[in-house]
Structure 1
Amino acid sequence: MKYNEDCTADDFSWAAITVFDHWLYETDSFKVIEEASCAEKQGWNNAIKLFLKKLVELEEPRKYKYIGRNSNQKLQFSYYIKNASMAEYVAKQFDEVYSPNLVFNRLGVDLWFEDNWTIHFKYKSQQGCLEMLKLASELGLFILPAYCADHLNNYEVLSDFMRKNGLDKSLHRDFVAAA
């Protein structure tokens, strides 16, 4: 695992999972959130948390942390060992932290959270994270391109892969229209 600025598209790519079919800043439509009822916001929250719980059912993630200082930093991995459910723990992290420091090794995915019902993820290959993409689509969530770290945004390739796997409905709305 490397920092974004140290990576190339050969290392991994980056995308996001959200309840919206586009980035709200693209259309200056943050009013969607402002005008949403409490029930709508709770529905979005439930959708994201259900996704996280089901993701843990696909693969139990490992926790990681960096130990050491500066150039001597090393990664340390550990398993979750508390009595509470790992799925509940991960879903709760969505409310509490931006960087849960969780990696799904088999899926090749590292994820972190953002405001506005968004989960960012780094992935090694489209095929490796196909189960996760299918899960997001089944739950009515959308996969959006990275809006920063352009050198890691490989959405054109990802969207083609998703189309070939019948996941068109979860694409950014501009990519659905372009198909």
Structure 2
Amino acid sequence: MPDANPAALEFLLTRRSRPAKTLQPPVPDRETVSQLLTAAARSPDHGKLEPWRFIVLEGQSFSRLSALVAERGEALGKTPDDITKAQNQFDQAHLAVAVIEVQKPSEKIPPIEQTYSAGAVALALLNAALAAGWGANWLSGWPSHDTDFCAQGLGLTDGERVVGFIHIGTERSAPPERPRPAMDDITTWMSS
């Protein structure tokens, strides 16, 4: 019989992201953020490539990124509503971690597996923050897919892209539970 961790299983069965717009100070300090990043980095990583890195956003970085969203949104022909919605992610933020996929050359590990690893890191960071008692949410949006925004705002280079922004803070109010998938509808059992 395996050693069970009932508390960890109960957390996973009941975990719930918190809307980023409901997160407020206080936010975790740098030591706590480092611990959360350490937990996230324990994700599956075939070939030990570490095909990801972190950019911790705090302070004035949010107003700078919000201004860049407006500039890039206009250049891309985005609607005012699309621009405002994307700006809100930064205007309302107090702490966020950009999880960056960093594709590494490998004859053994295909790019798609590196993408999966980077996604696993983002989910692990989200869950680590929630498990530590913080409110957290994983956001992306059109700026995260705009190479000019990523290069100018985050310093990303070729072969790098944003997996998501993990917003972390103190939860103002718990959101209502949302419907979950019916397991029988999405599960196939194969025994032969």
Calculate the TM-score normalised by the size of structure 1. 0.31
Structure with the higher helix share, 1 or 2:
2
Calculate the TM-score normalised by the size of structure 2. 0.30
